[in-house]
Amino acid sequence: MSTDRPEILENVPLEKFTTWGVGGTARYYWRYAERLLPHAIDWASKMAVPWVILGKGSNVLIEDSGFDGLVIHMVGNRKISIDHAVGTVACSATVPMPALAMATAKLGFTGLEWMAAIPGTVGGGIVMNAGVGSVFNGDISSHLISGMLFQPGVGFVEIPSEKCNFGYRYSRLQAENSICISGIFRITKEENSLMPLSRLTSLLKARKAKQPLAQRTAGSTFKSPAGHPIGKLLEKSGVRGLKIGGARVSDTHCNWIETSNGCKSSDIVKIICEMRRLTFVRYGIRIDPEVKRIPRSQWPWEAECH
Ligand SMILES: Cc1cc2nc3c(=O)[nH]c(=O)nc-3n(C[C@H](O)[C@H](O)[C@H](O)COP(=O)(O)OP(=O)(O)OC[C@H]3O[C@@H](n4cnc5c(N)ncnc54)[C@H](O)[C@@H]3O)c2cc1C
């Protein structure tokens, strides 16, 4: 049913909306629709409650106590629009990156095949500058032309990629109160139209061999410090198989934390702190989590990890 007001629910459990499967309850919850976004933000402001964006929940750690405000859940709409003549694809922030990769590769366009390996939404990908490393020249900053943002108090604003301040798993959106609504990406028609899909399939196969994809994880937990591949650093620090409560460092990849039934967010916090401590003891390097916490007041980690 279409209404002109956002339908805001109360006391919604969030664990099922995250890939780790942990986290408490949202006091208020709204499933995003673009045209109602300004109303939802006004509503939060009138109620004097904070708001936060949740995408596919594949890079977040939600506290056991949940979020005492409005969670705006950006999933659902899968609008993808390809301009064959210009070589661009526009898509809403709610589209899962694998769906965008598949839609373009199937039509023989190259550029975004690597997105098939990342389960988040396009919006979450832009915020995180998600990527797979140098093989595919694959991070968002190398392919994004522009992003549409909603800035409370300002409205909808289109910004070119150069103004996103992209860095390694960083964009300026992480430091702002903006919401990413959509993006436009560069794509190129390949002469052999079967190649993009074949490349995409090989990437997925290679990942399956190296990553614990059947487990509940949030992918890589920590960023690599300059000059040090994080997987090796953690492995040599002896974290493989480390277990705290329902959280366990994967045997397959030492930078991935798997959760089992009954795992609490606090178990993950503890294991992250222990991984940081062990790496510091072994190498004198403080490693930084890539994963974002909800609520934001829990950033940075130094409050709990010493
Ligand atoms: C199996 C697995 C494999 C992975 N592999 C990779 C990989 O190879 N490379 C990689 O970079 N990442 C990887 N990830 C991590 C994750 O998928 C990415 O970081 C992804 O970009 C997160 O998108 P999301 O929609 O899940 O965002 P969420 O986890 O929901 O949110 C992440 C952060 O972005 C904010 N946010 C989300 N959407 C928006 C929006 N529209 N506007 C404003 N803020 C927003 C949230 O508030 C939060 O701070 C992997 C995760 C898993 C589970």
Q: What residues act catalytically?
A: 169, 220, 290
Give the residues across from 30 on adjacent strands.
72
Ligand 1 mean position, distance from CA 140 (Å): 12
Q: Which pair of structure tokens corresponds to residue 158?
A: 């289109």
DSSP at 92: E
Ligand 1, residue 94: give the atom nearest the CA: 41
Which residues of the chain fall below pLDDT 70? 1-3, 134-137, 297-300, 303, 306
- Are 302 and 276 spatial neighbours (Cβ–Cβ below 8 Å)? no
Ligand 1: residue whose CA is nearest its atom 50 = 219
CA–CA separation, 230 and 86 (whole Å): 39
- Are 180 and 126 spatial neighbours (Cβ–Cβ below 8 Å)? yes
Residues in the chain, overall count: 306
Q: Which pair of structure tokens corresponds to residue 152?
A: 């409370």
The domains found in the chain, sorted by start residue, are: 9-73 (3.30.43.10), 80-209 (3.30.465.10), 212-303 (3.90.78.10)
Ligand 1: residue whose CA is nearest its atom 47 = 53
Phi and psi dihedrals of 80, rounded to 5? Answer: -130, 130
Ligand 1, residue 180: give the atom nearest the CA: 42
The pLDDT assigned to 4 comes to 82
Ligand 1 mean position, distance from CA 289 (Å): 13
CA–CA separation, 226 and 213 (whole Å): 26
Q: Which residue has the tokens 């070119």?
A: 160
Q: Is 35 helix (H, G, I), strand (E, B) or coil?
A: helix
The pLDDT assigned to 183 comes to 98
Ligand 1, residue 121: give the atom nearest the CA: 25
Ligand 1 mean position, distance from CA 191 (Å): 32
Ligand 1: residue whose CA is nearest its atom 2 = 219
Write the CB contacts of 69 (distance below 8 Å, at least 6 apart in sequence).
26, 27, 28, 44, 49, 50, 51, 52, 295
CA–CA separation, 129 and 123 (whole Å): 10
pTM of the model: 0.96
Give residue 292's region: left, alpha or beta (phi > 0; psi -120 to 50): beta
Ligand 1 mean position, distance from CA 153 (Å): 26
The pLDDT assigned to 137 comes to 66
